[in-house]
Amino acid sequence: KMAASFLSGRKTISFVGCGMQVGFFVSLVGSEGLLLGLMAYDRYVAISHPLHYSTRMSQRVCLQIAGSSWAFGLLDGLTQMVVVMTFPYCGSRVVDHFFCEMLSVLKLACVDTTLFENVVFVCCVFMLLFPFSIIVASYVRILGAVFHMRSAQTGKRALATCSSHMTAVSLFYGAAMFIYLRPRRYRTPSHDK
């Protein structure tokens, strides 16, 4: 929808379409955060316990990791989408964002949304900071294992194994921090668009 709006110049979206954007966005972001956290555990097992890797990270375990992260992301997205769509909206119906981002949509609600915003904050802590803590803990353990390796070449190979994951983590969390963790005094309505 966003690409079609850019190409046509018509910047409208239905109420249901806006709700679906909120749901998909929250679901996908939550799922990706959880997957990145669980992938860090995969890297830890591969480097610290290479002989046990095939038993600890069996196909069944990998499917459980993927399925649980998708399920939690979907549950989080659907829950937040349903709640956002049940608020009454009045007055302006112009979302001050280039897509239906939840906080921009909540600004249009006719009721106090403070409680829901606090619930969203708790969900974000679970869906983003919990995986981030797994990532940090895994990489601390990986670095400990690398420093105890006898060969510098083996250590370099181990760190090279982690480079693609660290790139994905940096892009994901770097963008989120840039957008959502700026002090309020540095934010203007046009910054987050």
pLDDT for position 121: 82
Over range 104-109, report the average pLDDT: 82
pTM of the model: 0.81
Burial class of residue 23 (count of CB atoms within 10 Å of its CB; 0-12, 13-18, 19+): buried
Domains of the chain from N-terminus onward: 15-181 (1.20.1070.10)
Q: 45-88: per-residue pLDDT in tens?
A: 999 898 999 999 999 999 999 999 999 999 999 988 988 888 88
pLDDT tens by residue, 127-175: 888 899 999 999 999 989 888 888 888 888 888 888 999 999 999 988 8
Which pLDDT tens digit goes with each residue over 16-55?
A: 888 888 899 999 999 999 999 999 999 999 998 989 999 9
Distance CA 109, CA 132 (A): 32
